[in-house]
Structure 1
Amino acid sequence: MDEFDYVIVGAGSAGCVLANRLSADGRHKVALLEAGGSDLNFWVRMPIGYGKTFYHNTLNWKYLTEPVPGFDGRQSYWPRGRVVGGSSSINAMVFIRGQAQDFDGWRALGNPGWAYEDVLPFFKRMEDNLSGADQWRGRGGPLTITNIEDVAHPLCQNYLAGGVEAGLVRNQDFNGATQEGIGIYQITTRKGFRCSAATAYLAPASARSNLRVIKAAHATRVLFDGKRAVGIEYRQGSELRSIRARREVILSAGAVNTPQLLQLSGVGDPVLLRRHGLDVVLPAPNVGRNLQDHIGFDHLYKSTQPTLNDVLRPWWGRLKVGLRYVLTLSGPLSLSVNQGGGFFRTNPGRTRPNMQLYFSPVSYTRAVPGKRALMSPDPFAGFLVGVSNCHPTSLGQLAIRSADPFAPPEIQPNYLSTEEDVQELLEGAHFLRRLAKTGPMREIIESEIRPGPEVLSDEALIADIRARSGSVFHPCGTCAMGADASASVVDPRLRVHGLESLRVVDASIFPRITSGNLNAPTIMVGEKGADLILEDAR
């Protein structure tokens, strides 16, 4: 059996960080297990290629939730990265840290060391912000952050001007002094290519003799000696293998696969485990609970002006932008379609922004969620403006459905199960209508396609929200961090309560979801987690 000091499960947004930082000084032997394969894939590396990876058979776990009552019984599609780089290799690349109050809230829940002032140095350390460093932003770190203000689609200017007319302030940096306002998103790209966690952290460390990356290695269970984690069992091809950890086993498999692996290993609700014939190593009913996710919906419009539809729909347009990308690594294929953004308060009583805005100069009226082909939009000029909730109060859960480690877990997110979430998104729909009536937006709107001008009453808008909302792919919280072992899964140093030599370092430890996209805070958790592990090793 191979032996390493640290065995990490999952080469995703946090796992790649850990592999780099734990192997950096050469003193520790580190193994990184990844169920997927290489990220050396055209659709992974080309930024707009995420439209292909979102439903790719080998790059994506392609999870489906259970029918969601709040969605009128619809299932929700959950793409998750099954590739080196994890979901940072298939996401839309928008870089958002979250609000300072998010992390201060983590500390208030009993997690010392996780306030904004504590995590800000890690955010600054991890990034190479091409717009420059200041008291909030970093330069020279592994992860390249690109400002697309000068290359965003021209219709973004109408969106920005409309937002200001609707009462929002212009914000040049959502990751700076404040998140509030309207602006253009920064994205994780480097010289025309996606800059994933694998690009930023794993590639520079891959030649180290003390780091071994094992691909196509599907972890099946954590191995225990009593209450101490001593290794991982995994399947690679047709072979069942084991790997031993002298110091620690670290689970970084994400908000779905980490709690699933814990339950398969005998750590979870004892009733669930015994139902599936599993021995209970540790009764831990909170594993898989506290599931949180952002949900949102779009309002779609026919445009009076050309949009990306006019460029990406005809074959000659695709050929033109394809040649431009190949020759210059620039143009629409080097960007995300999520270009305009923003964060706002849906009513004056809110103490901070509670809703995220999206503007995409492209539309897909026939697309099934999760199956949008970004290179095949509508055959007419169109665009979308969307919202998603920053602080949902609906909580879900995740549980294995059998003892088979290859069976997808049962996921019930319980979207829109609280009246607060419903009313908040209703307020968001009213804001989208107000935004569409501004002068700059009226200039570019020919007609509203979805939900349609006939949808006017609150009841009709709520029905539309239930019928068309979906995940924006930010699951977290399923192994929540907290000091109280009866109400959480890991302690503030990310050690699993009640067990030895086992940590969780990924988005599943979020006690509360952060405001906006989760890739940046997940990478931060990897950075801080690595420091905690190295401190304890000393």
Structure 2
Amino acid sequence: MKDDAFDYVVVGSGSAGAVMAARLSEDADISVLLVEAGRRGRNPMIAMPAAAWINFARPTYNWRLFTVPQPELLGRAIYMAAGKVLGGSSAINTMNYMRGHPMDFDGWGHAGATGWSYSAALPYFKRCESYRSAEYSEFRGYDGPVGTTKARAWGPLQEAFLAAGAETEAGLTDDTNGYRQEGFFTFDQTIADGVRQSTARAYLRPALARPNLRIAVRTQAHGVAIENRRATGVVLAHAGQARTVRARREVIICAGAIRSPQLLMLSGIGPAEHLRGHGITVVLDAPGVGTDLQDHVEIQLTWRCPRPVSHSRYLRPDRAALAGARWLLKGDGIGATTGFEVGAMLRSARNVPVPDTEVYLYPALLDGDRPHLTMHGFGIGMNLNRCKSRGTVRLAMADPTGAPLIDPRYLSEPDDRTFLIDAIEWAREFVDRRPFDGLRGAEIGPGTRDPAEVDRWLRRELIGNWHPAGTCRMGTDARAVTGPDGRVHGIESLRVIDASIMPQVTNANLNAPIMMMAERIADMVCGRALLAPEPVAIYRP
């Protein structure tokens, strides 16, 4: 990297950063530097959907963060995956394409993010997407960069899940990203022609030949250079050498809900007393930086399966090798799926306005963080998408190479625990339905009906869903960090664009809404007219 100055310096190449760099560099007169701490990620295991489980465990492409010990979870430090590779977490996630409920985005506007609404977001969701379907929907995009398809792998467990779902009050929905989010469905996935559609593949690969786009991998941002409350560049480190690269127009931080607030605090933007405690000169006392950390939480109930129909049958080394070879040659077979084929979005009570519960079938048992190789079984995952518990991200040290202190305060609000206890009972009743007859063996987890033991099991097994958000949230109140365009309040020429600016985490996975946000804010940065809002009717129970 020989140049010392660019018009825009984008930090982080994930679901937001890759989109921003690609869109900004469409103007040949604008120079863009995209900074990524990880590698380029040329390993075919990134492109192969079934290998997602391998990438979760590999530090090569993963920051492998941990929370501080959680008092309500028996003092456990909870693992949190985060992508460290071109494409960020979009290169290692489970590829479920879920936008969230329309009322999520209307709620952002009500929370002070003026201009955000579902009708404003919809045209940008459509711009992102190339939906592979023979049926047209006004909710979907068909010529965008990111290929999406319905999950294809199938079997008796998936059939039983949907058949049991059809018997419930929620019933089935044919498109959870369309008119009706609520119900049981086949997942949409960021997979096309059997290949993962990360933002690196979808957005950066077509832009690589542009002479005005420079990508610096294995390069970590250590801080934002600020003069007179204006961002002027970024301090970067590569191969042990540090240098400052100037940004003539803007610095755009897209490092995610954990690393973005860390980078702001290292740059002197954050809670003043906390910064002084680490010997950092305060540039701007911004008490909201690193606060309001939100995440989805997950618990998975498990059962043995008396029939050999779980995904474990594919995982014997010889069969896994054959599946990998087939995927390399044809791009199909079990290697082209993730194991997450069917799920549901449900309301926890009739008076809840939007689905706040995500349910999924995992057609195998887990042995640690990987599928079990020999024992047949299945899991029903229950995700709470509207946690009341809120946490923080704080500096552990002033050293930018160290991980920050991540404290989601899981289950610190008693209502979250009550919700999950009820969810456990719902899952049991669901699996007791007739379609699971012949597939439902002994319950493994919790494996007890004793309330005290179930509570202990919950605290021992609960994990975060790796969907952190809200730590640099948009708004107009005193604790808001950014405005509706991602600009950092009180600092010129500095934006944050990623899940950290969400006023409220969406009721679904985060990859899709983050790409949408980046598409929309890219138009703002470039001074282009925003796409016209698209008011549409949505299902209301």
* TM-score normalised to structure 2 length: 0.95
Letter in 2 for 1:143: V
RMSD over aligned CA atoms reads 1.5
Three-state SS of the structure 2 residue aligned to 1:433 is: helix
Show the counterpart of 1:156. Answer: 158
Q: How many angstroms does 1:330 deviate by?
A: 0.9
For the 8 Å contact 1:426–1:458, the answer to whether it is kept is: no
Gaps of 5+ in 1: none
TM-superposition CA deviations, 1:261-300 (whole Å, max 9, x none)? 0000000111111111110110011100010000111111
Three-state SS of the structure 2 residue aligned to 1:520 is: helix
Show the counterpart of 1:138. Answer: 141
Show the counterpart of 1:439. Answer: 434
Three-state SS of the structure 2 residue aligned to 1:32 is: strand
Show the counterpart of 1:515. Answer: 507
CA change 1:151–1:51 in 2 (3 A) is: closer
Show the counterpart of 1:456. Answer: 449
Three-state SS of the structure 2 residue aligned to 1:118 is: helix
1:393 to 365, 388, 391: 388
CA change 1:153–1:172 in 2 (3 A) is: same
Show the counterpart of 1:172. Answer: 174
Q: How many angstroms does 1:441 deviate by?
A: 1.3
Show the counterpart of 2:184. Answer: 182
CA distance in 1, matches of 2:281, 2:182: 49
Three-state SS of the structure 2 residue aligned to 1:407 is: coil
Show the counterpart of 1:478. Answer: 471
2:43 to 32, 41, 44: 41
Moved more, 301-310 or 284-293: 301-310
Letter in 2 for 1:380: M
TM-superposition CA deviations, 1:443-467 (whole Å, max 9, x none)? 3112111111xx2244443332211
1:498 to 487, 490, 493: 490
CA distance in 2, matches of 1:332, 1:171: 25
Show the counterpart of 2:535. Answer: none
For the 8 Å contact 1:309–1:380, the answer to whether it is kept is: no
Aligned pair count reads 527
Where do residues 37-116 of structure 1 align in structure 2 (5 Å cutoff)? 37-116=39-118
Show the counterpart of 1:488. Answer: 480
Three-state SS of the structure 1 residue aligned to 2:10 is: strand
Show the counterpart of 2:200. Answer: 198
CA distance in 1, matches of 2:153, 2:276: 56
Q: How many angstroms does 1:178 deviate by?
A: 1.5
CA distance in 1, matches of 2:319, 2:278: 54
CA distance in 1, matches of 2:136, 2:205: 24
2:267 to 265, 268, 271: 265
CA distance in 1, matches of 2:163, 2:311: 22
Three-state SS of the structure 1 residue aligned to 2:486 is: coil
* TM-score normalised to structure 1 length: 0.95
CA distance in 2, matches of 1:307, 1:84: 36
CA distance in 1, matches of 2:452, 2:167: 27
Letter in 1 for 2:148: I
CA change 1:308–1:437 in 2 (3 A) is: closer
CA change 1:260–1:536 in 2 (3 A) is: farther
1:467 to 460, 463, 470: 460
CA change 1:411–1:237 in 2 (3 A) is: same
Q: How many angstroms does 1:536 deviate by?
A: 7.8
Show the counterpart of 1:373. Answer: 370
TM-superposition CA deviations, 1:469-517 (whole Å, max 9, x none)? 1011101111011022x12100111100001000001111011010011
Letter in 2 for 1:471: G
Q: How many angstroms does 1:427 deviate by?
A: 1.8
Show the counterpart of 1:211. Answer: 213
Q: How many angstroms does 1:154 deviate by?
A: 3.5
For the 8 Å contact 2:523–2:529, the answer to whether it is kept is: no
TM-superposition CA deviations, 1:347-386 (whole Å, max 9, x none)? 223222110001011111x31xxxx234xx2412111111
For the 8 Å contact 1:153–1:361, the answer to whether it is kept is: no
For the 8 Å contact 2:153–2:341, the answer to whether it is kept is: no
CA distance in 2, matches of 1:115, 1:249: 26
For the 8 Å contact 1:166–1:434, the answer to whether it is kept is: no
Letter in 2 for 1:166: T
Show the counterpart of 2:537. Answer: none
TM-superposition CA deviations, 1:157-211 (whole Å, max 9, x none)? 1011112223331111110001100011111012111110111111111111111
2:411 to 376, 398, 416: 416
Q: How many angstroms does 1:413 deviate by?
A: 0.4
Three-state SS of the structure 2 residue aligned to 1:446 is: coil
Where do residues 226-237 of structure 1 align in structure 2 (5 Å cutoff)? 226-237=228-239
Letter in 1 for 2:497: V
TM-superposition CA deviations, 1:90-112 (whole Å, max 9, x none)? 00000000001111110111112
CA distance in 2, matches of 1:319, 1:58: 22
Q: How many angstroms does 1:422 deviate by?
A: 1.1
CA distance in 1, matches of 2:120, 2:312: 47
Q: How many angstroms does 1:55 deviate by?
A: 1.9
Where do residues 286-325 of structure 1 align in structure 2 (5 Å cutoff)? 286-325=288-327
CA distance in 1, matches of 2:250, 2:316: 53
2:333 to 331, 334, 343: 331
Letter in 2 for 1:446: G
Q: How many angstroms does 1:309 deviate by?
A: 4.0
